[in-house]
Structure 1
């Protein structure tokens, strides 16, 4: 049986050292915006103009958050466009103003100057079938009014997107391990299914937890920091750095 000293060393190796190394690397960057107003929020040009994209689109994006919080966290959001629509619709959960924001920023916009990366992309008839389910999930999010947002451990922006993915498991993807708050669940729901419904998740109010699923892999959550492995698409997941290895499947 593992002694307390060995367990402490394992925790330091899995959580503290990677996060510390990423903090040093982050501090050495010279392109981190000092504040909200100085940051670049423009489109990263990942999506084609709607006029050039007649088919339906469903996408999920993630980008590092601003300032020192970018050391360990991503912000995620959902984008949809129905077939023939002349614009994209973006859904975010934020901690200021209207908590569930529609079209607050460019659909593929930078977040505090940090370029987003694609987590999910579904096009055509498959996307068109999912859009009503996504819209229903957005409308049914239970933590959508002022005062419901809690940056740590949740519910926050990533809890919102995890809710959408849990409501629409056909999205068949996992949020980045650095999507702080994605594993948050109220204490009444300690044990449940992972968002993809391919495994089991244990969440102690976002302070600690464990997820084991075919899509999510194996993740150990401690104070919102995630360490784990992905067997389906071989990769390791470590605090700060996120996923290292094969990229997750993007449709």
Structure 2
């Protein structure tokens, strides 16, 4: 009984309380106008593509639409090869063809919510990553209509996690509230973490454990993740995400030499 009481207390502290706080913040902030009328314009987080010849890779995350933003963020990928005069944005959505290309402004608000930059690479580092990321997008297994599942996956975050699997040198972990990122998109329930610095056990996305230098220590219960970031000390909490140092790791921003 003492062990059960301790487990219930930890669950309340690290899962129920953070989700309650996230719900309170959502109730306070909301998204302003109704989601259908919400602003989806550019946030200025990307330089003008025509005036920026270097290659660019970005991964963005923003709270999901309506009440689901209490629990989760939506992630997407933006690519621009060297010399290209426009960005290409890739989302995985529940409507139409799941892999949606340029359906939204590359650095646009997600139904009124300003995104955060999860990963950034520029110049030669980005140019080396882009072909493998494009191949991962073309070869994504869950790309047919009807494949999308909000929970536990495959969803938008499962898609981005699969793309990042192709570039382990990025050394990046998606936010802990990117629900669906732990879904085994390749069918492997035990596998190396996307960074290649640890192992992840995922029971179909419903539960799991991750241990890695980049990913830290994470426990997934019904898609909600709690844990510790070891490399850049921080707490990872359901709903609230990562609470600690700047979420954009220094190794994640690679610049062209010179």
| Distance apart, 1:25 and its partner CA | 1.8
TM-score using structure 2 length: 0.93
Q: Secondary structure at the match of 1:3?
A: helix
Query: In 2, distance between residues paired with 1:88 and 1:186?
Result: 26
For 1:14-71, what per-residue CA distance to the aligned partner results, in whole angstroms no more than 9, with x for missing partners? 1001101110121122534433x21111111111111221101011111111110000
Which residue of the partner structure matches residue 156 of structure 1?
155
Which residue of the partner structure matches residue 31 of structure 2?
31
| Distance apart, 1:241 and its partner CA | 0.8
Q: Is the 8 A contact 1:187 1:204 kept in 2?
A: no
Which residue of the partner structure matches residue 225 of structure 2?
226
Which residue of the partner structure matches residue 60 of structure 1?
59
1:222–1:129 distance in 2 versus 1, CA, 3 Å: same
Which residue of the partner structure matches residue 166 of structure 2?
167
Q: Which runs of 5+ in 1 are unaligned?
A: none
How many residues are treated as equivalent by the alignment?
A: 250
1:211–1:138 distance in 2 versus 1, CA, 3 Å: same
1:204–1:187 distance in 2 versus 1, CA, 3 Å: farther
Give runs of aligned pairs for residues 21-170 of structure 1, distance below 5 A.
21-35=21-35, 37-170=36-169
Which residue of the partner structure matches residue 207 of structure 1?
206
Which residue of the partner structure matches residue 6 of structure 2?
6
Q: Is the 8 A contact 1:187 1:205 kept in 2?
A: no
Runs of 4+ deviating beyond 6 Å? none
1:188–1:76 distance in 2 versus 1, CA, 3 Å: closer
Query: In 2, distance between residues paired with 1:123 and 1:167?
Result: 17
Query: In 2, distance between residues paired with 1:187 and 1:10?
Result: 32
Q: Is the 8 A contact 1:58 1:123 kept in 2?
A: yes
Give runs of aligned pairs for residues 181-220 of structure 1, distance below 5 A.
181-185=180-184, 188-220=187-219
Q: Is the 8 A contact 1:32 1:66 kept in 2?
A: no
1:229–1:2 distance in 2 versus 1, CA, 3 Å: farther
1:186–1:93 distance in 2 versus 1, CA, 3 Å: closer
Query: In 1, distance between residues paired with 2:191 and 2:200?
Result: 5
Query: In 2, distance between residues paired with 1:186 and 1:13?
Result: 30
Tell which deviates more after alignment, 167-176 or 93-102. Answer: 167-176
Query: In 2, distance between residues paired with 1:152 and 1:210?
Result: 18
Query: In 2, distance between residues paired with 1:80 and 1:72?
Result: 27
TM-score using structure 1 length: 0.96
For 1:200-235, what per-residue CA distance to the aligned partner results, in whole angstroms no more than 9, with x for missing partners? 001011111111111111111111111011111111
Q: Is the 8 A contact 2:31 2:113 kept in 1?
A: no
Query: In 2, distance between residues paired with 1:2 and 1:203?
Result: 28
Query: In 2, distance between residues paired with 1:157 and 1:44?
Result: 21
